Amino acid sequence: MRAIAEDIRVTSRPRRRWARAALAVALAVTVPATEVSAQTAYRGQTPSGDVYRPTRRGGGGVGVGTAIGIGVGLGLLIGQGMARSRAEEDAPPPRRRRTVEPDEDAPIKPRTRSGDAPPKKRTPVATAAPTPAITVPPPSETRFMPGEILVELREGGSIEAIARRRDLAVVDSRPIRLIDTTLYRLRTRGNQSVAATLRRLQRERTIAHAEPNWVYTLQEEGVPAASGEAVPPTPNAVPATPSETATPVATSPAVEEAAPASATAAAATTPVAEAAPLPGQWGGERIHLGAAHARASGRGVRVAVIDTAADGAHPELAGAIEATFDALPGVDPSPGAHGTAMAGAAAARLRLAGAAPAARVLAARAFGPPGADGTARGATYEVVACLDWAVEHEARVVSMSFAGPGSGVLARALAAARAKGVVLVAAAGNAGPKSEPLFPAADAGVVAVTASDPDDRILPQAVRGRHVAVTAPGVDVLVPTPKGGYDLTSGTSVATAEVAGVVALLLERRPELRPDEVARLIGETAVDLGAPGRDPVFGAGLIDAEAALARLR
């Protein structure tokens, strides 16, 4: 009761009216309850001995505490109601929502509850650019062009900006459609080493790939002949200059001197049947080319020879070279002895029996004249450009009579060419039996060729390994040389060109053959040499052109 009175004293006038009413109700309930409580407390007998039974009055029977609690509760509830009413009276009128007709073209926005903060936009997580694939040569590796680096960029990269930051000179660039890239050739300045420069380029996130400009050498060397006599100078030792002639083989007066231009033109029109074959062509006989040519001659099949320039005016090659490509502009363009010899081994057609005398040769120059040591060298930049050109000109076979270190760029180009159905043939190399596998022959998609002599003995300098696929004649093989000459040559180079020609024979008969089918066919029909079965010295054995063609019947 005291609480209600206190509430009446401190409350505003409207609340006081409600509170008084609550107090009256509480008193009305409380007074009778108090009287009944007092009567009930005397629970005894009257003087007459009768039990006293109190008479209930309105509201009787309710305890005093309960009545007081009800009254106080009612008062508080009414007071709270008055407070809410007063707050509602004092509050500003509610704002009406404006009805807006929906716009059908407006984007739909997510609905949010009133008072909620607008949804935050997600900020994309920044991802680091991928690390460039860079090949840094070990200190012991020197088989690359001094100071030269090959670079491929990611989209948006600037070779000029990279060259400025790393103090490099941009020498040249080439689009390589075969692997959908542009290859840049850069050169270091001052005393920068190739290895140190490549390590610094690892911080250039716009670089996709970088490696040294690897060097490859042609695989033809003078070696002891099977008879123990010295082999005549090899084609590599013949300078590629217009004023000099190739060292001829003394077989007949017709080939003792280089033929003049008029004689060369006349020889180009001489039918093959009217020219007497030159003696000493043991290689063709050993792999049964005569019988094979009764079945196929390579007609219509394009064979690319990546080498030095070839002498298309040589009588043996007249009409054989369909197109040429020069990846070394500005370098002496004279026909090279090695390129002429390889083109002849693949497709000679006059007095020599090339492996595929009716094939179309695509002569691609990646190697210049031989150096002071008599060895011609080329680099990845030129080799990849030649391969790209050969595939673009629909070569079905590519002959690569060179060897060197592995290259990431070249490996991708080889894989792309093979995926297009091109059969790749390469020399195992002449670095000796203790050499590591050399490339491109060691590439998994390439037919690696080694060389043997007339007695089926392996070329002593030939590289061994599980990657070696087949063997072909490669000691004292008669080949054409520039300016109408002929010479004997030895090495895995000439063996490679012969195998490329045999592949052309197979593709003439079955153009739909895939590279793996061709490799399997020539391996299964080869004559086993050395240890039974395939071995790291001879591979599957000596290639047999007639047997391979017979399998296609």
**Which 3 state secondary structure label does DSSP give 217?**
strand
Q: Rounded to the nearest 5°, which phi and psi values hold at 201?
A: -70, -10
Q: Rounded to the nearest 5°, which phi and psi values hold at 303?
A: -115, 115
Confirm whether 393 is a catalytic residue: no
What end-to-end distance do the CA atoms of the chain give, in Å? 123
Residues 6+ apart with CB under 8 A from 22: 4, 71, 74, 75, 78, 79
**Which 3 state secondary structure label does DSSP give 521?**
helix
Confirm whether 307 is a catalytic residue: yes
CATH number for region 219-550: 3.40.50.200
Q: Does domain 133-214 have CATH number 3.30.70.80?
A: yes
Residue 552 buriedness (CB in 10 A; 0-12 / 13-18 / 19+): middle
Strand (E) or helix (H) holding 165:
helix 159-166
DSSP 458: B
Taking every pair of Cα atoms in the chain, the longest distance, rounded to a whole number of angstroms, is 177
Active-site residue identified among 288, 293, 314, 338: 338
**Which 3 state secondary structure label does DSSP give 518?**
helix
Give the pLDDT of the chain (553 residues) as one tens digit per residue: 555 455 545 454 555 555 555 555 454 544 444 444 444 443 444 444 444 444 444 444 445 454 455 554 555 445 555 555 554 555 555 555 554 444 444 444 555 555 555 555 555 554 555 678 999 999 999 999 999 999 999 999 999 999 999 999 999 999 999 999 999 999 999 889 999 999 999 999 999 999 999 999 999 754 333 332 333 333 333 333 222 233 333 332 222 233 333 333 333 333 444 578 999 899 999 999 999 999 999 999 999 999 999 999 999 999 999 999 999 999 999 999 999 999 999 999 999 999 999 999 999 999 999 888 888 999 999 999 999 999 999 999 999 999 999 999 999 999 999 999 999 999 999 999 999 999 999 999 999 999 999 999 999 999 999 999 999 999 999 999 999 999 999 999 999 999 999 999 999 999 999 999 999 999 999 999 999 999 999 999 999 999 999 999 7
Give domain limits for the chain: 1-38+59-79, 133-214, 219-550
CB–CB of 482/241 below 8 Å? no
Active-site residue identified among 297, 399, 490, 493: 493
* d(C-alpha 25, C-alpha 31), whole Å: 10
> At how many degrees (to 10) do helices 380-392 and 408-419 cross?
10
DSSP letters spanning 9-69: HHS-HHHHHHHHHHHHHHHHHHHHHHHHHHHHH--SB-TTSPBP-PPP-TTTT--HHHHHH
Confirm whether 167 is a catalytic residue: no
Which tokens go with 371? 């150096």
Active-site residue identified among 307, 388, 443, 487: 307
